[in-house]
Structure 1
Amino acid sequence: MKWLIGVLVVLAALAGFAWYAVLDGAAPARAESEVDLAAYRALVANDAPETLPTEVRVEFVGASEAPSFATEAGAFRGDVNMTYTAFQLLAPNGSVIVDGAVDGDAIVQMTDGEGSFEEAAYQRLLDATAQAAHVLITHEHIDHVMAVTRHPAPETIAPRLRLTASQLQGLPQHARGGVLAPAIAGVQPLDFTTPQRIAPGVVAHAAPGHTPGTIVIYARTPAREYLFVGDIAWVMSSIENARGRPRFIRWIIPEVDPDRPAVLRQIRALHDIAAAEPQLVILPAHDDAYLRRRIAEGALIEGFAVN
């Protein structure tokens, strides 16, 4: 009988550990003011329709597979395709780039050589970054910054960068030799603690949690509204189900979600917004299948426009 009790105790402990490490990612029941859609709309309410972005484009620069339970706590749907993207907002007064994706070396480093990389897509991203009016990154992780930290023309892109102090602080580790080009290192940081209008129809707002420098970016075109959420959620189902990443991800990748409670609050807020505003196009950066559905629906166009 003692051995049976011992076995049951061990099984209970394992079940508890599995719940804690893999299954539990529930967002709180309420999270107010984490994502202030009303404030974003107010900042661009007076922007003339002819000045707004006209197209939202996406580049799929690389991809790798991950088990679904690693992307969303409690999800067991087999492997999912994780894409590495950047976005382009085409506008009459100049384009806005969102994120810098990966380069070939970064994809090898991140995936042990098992990921795919699209050289032509990355070159378009480099060219578009050099031609943009504004360049933003949703956060300072390796898979979102390569076209910034390793751009071959840093003096060209530096005046276009709209970065926060936390983002700038996190960039050197992703630069060649761990040192940013002087032009980029010298960029004057911006403060998005309160929402800031970047360009007609475009607003940036700090949302620390996944990283200290995470931001969300709102954009309005004449046809739709968009919300770029970076890695607050890796897959759209995480928002739909109000579940964050499992805890074990942070044990493997310590720089992910240093403020997990903040991320879970943001996911709750996005979940509620998605339910209340179904026309709003929410764009997590890595959900390949979801982003391609948005292309099929006409909300996104694949491939950057470059001169």
Structure 2
Amino acid sequence: MTGIKKYIAFVTLFLVSKTYSQGIDYNDALLSKIRIASNSVPGKFASEIHYIKYAESPRTFAATVDGGDEKPYIQARTAYQLIYPDGTVMIDAGMDKKVHEFFGQGKVQPYFPSANDSIQKALLQAKKIIITHEHGDHVAGVLRTKHYKELAPKTIVTVQQMHTLSTKPQMPELKIDSSQWNDFDVVDFYDILPVAPSVVLIKAPGHTPGEIMVYTKLANGKEYIFTGDVSWSYIGIEEKKQKPAGQIKRIGENAEQIGFELNWLNQLPAKGIQLLVSHDDIVQPELLKKGIIKKGLQLN
């Protein structure tokens, strides 16, 4: 890493803490702006969204959404794939078993190695990889793999995500050093950023400083937003309920920011947008049955 690059990385790390908490207006004007921006990258739109579950964390609704009861709730660990005529784009990257065990906190939880192997193959063939946020179940598949040198250059990460991974990672296994900033496609933007035909990143800090949501419109005209971890369930969005207070404290979430995002997401289905909640394991199987998303990743 050259001296000037080290200096730029240092200045970026210093300044980012002053910018990631910026206020974004989540309203109809933002949606209009996203829809316009989705046409700014030339190329044919994706035709399908594929989905895979590679692990589970058994919990309860009480541990998932504020005011929930003790009924079981499976927190699915997932990744998504956009299918284009000339390639694919991956959204999130899975994780290895060691990182999975971190989430179990000493308890053995279901992990599907063959599904994570499929994610690794899909990442290798993808034209781009988008990371919704800095937590291990979303980014470890790029950071902790023998294919790191092949995957990192096509992985889009925000300055805020890199800042977290550099200075305050969720676990030691995710920590990166300043030289690795050059390995990735690092982007910085205020509220939205188009990155592929009809794919727009949306800043959504709160769960983590670098959380983003992802908008896409398929060739058939249907619109989707991948909501990341703004909520862990569709119920949280439908009822505009945040995570339980204990989880908010444990994670270090910014509840005020998440509140604005939940209010906005709650309105979007009425505007024709299908939400895709990463950790849901109740509604997403129904979406599979209806053919709204496809099961399994498309591999060459």
TM category (shorter chain) comes to 0.7 to 0.9
Is the counterpart of residue 205 in structure 1 residue 199 in structure 2? Answer: no
How far apart are 1:199 and its partner, in Å?
A: 0.8
| CA radius of gyration, larger in | 1
AA at the equivalent of 2:255: R
* Structure-2 residue corresponding to 1:110: 103
More displaced 10-residue stretch of structure 1: 132-141 or 108-117:
108-117
How far apart are 1:90 and its partner, in Å?
A: 0.9
* Structure-2 residue corresponding to 1:187: 184
AA at the equivalent of 1:219: T
AA at the equivalent of 2:160: S
Q: Is the 8 A contact 1:69 1:75 kept in 2?
A: yes
* Structure-1 residue corresponding to 2:36: 42
Separation (CA, whole Å) in 1 of partners of 2:123 and 2:181: 13
Aligned to 2:282, the other structure's residue is in SS state helix
AA at the equivalent of 2:150: T
Is the counterpart of residue 226 in structure 1 residue 221 in structure 2? Answer: no
How far apart are 1:170 and its partner, in Å?
A: 2.5
AA at the equivalent of 1:187: F
* Structure-1 residue corresponding to 2:238: 240
* Structure-2 residue corresponding to 1:65: 58
Unaligned segments of structure 2, at least 5 residues:
1-24
Q: Is the 8 A contact 2:56 2:74 kept in 1?
A: yes
The change in CA–CA distance for 1:196 and 1:288 in structure 2 (over 3 A counts) is: same
Is the counterpart of residue 146 in structure 1 residue 140 in structure 2? Answer: yes
* Structure-2 residue corresponding to 1:159: 153
AA at the equivalent of 2:257: A
Aligned to 1:145, the other structure's residue is in SS state helix
The change in CA–CA distance for 1:243 and 1:132 in structure 2 (over 3 A counts) is: same
Match for residue 261 of structure 1 among 245, 256, 272: 256
How far apart are 1:215 and its partner, in Å?
A: 0.5
In the superposition, the TM-score normalised over structure 2's length comes to 0.83
Separation (CA, whole Å) in 2 of partners of 1:44 and 1:197: 6
Is the counterpart of residue 288 in structure 1 residue 286 in structure 2? Answer: no
How far apart are 1:273 and its partner, in Å?
A: 1.7
Match for residue 86 of structure 1 among 79, 85, 104: 79
1:276-295 CA distance string (max 9 Å, x none): 22x42101110011111111
How far apart are 1:238 and its partner, in Å?
A: 0.6
Match for residue 137 of structure 1 among 120, 124, 131: 131
The change in CA–CA distance for 1:125 and 1:35 in structure 2 (over 3 A counts) is: farther
The change in CA–CA distance for 1:168 and 1:234 in structure 2 (over 3 A counts) is: same
AA at the equivalent of 1:239: I
Aligned residues: 271
Q: Is the 8 A contact 1:227 1:281 kept in 2?
A: yes
Q: Is the 8 A contact 2:39 2:197 kept in 1?
A: no
Separation (CA, whole Å) in 1 of partners of 2:198 and 2:185: 23
Percent identical pairs in the alignment equals 25
Q: Is the 8 A contact 1:295 1:301 kept in 2?
A: yes
Q: Is the 8 A contact 1:35 1:266 kept in 2?
A: no
Q: Is the 8 A contact 1:207 1:214 kept in 2?
A: yes
Separation (CA, whole Å) in 1 of partners of 2:159 and 2:121: 25
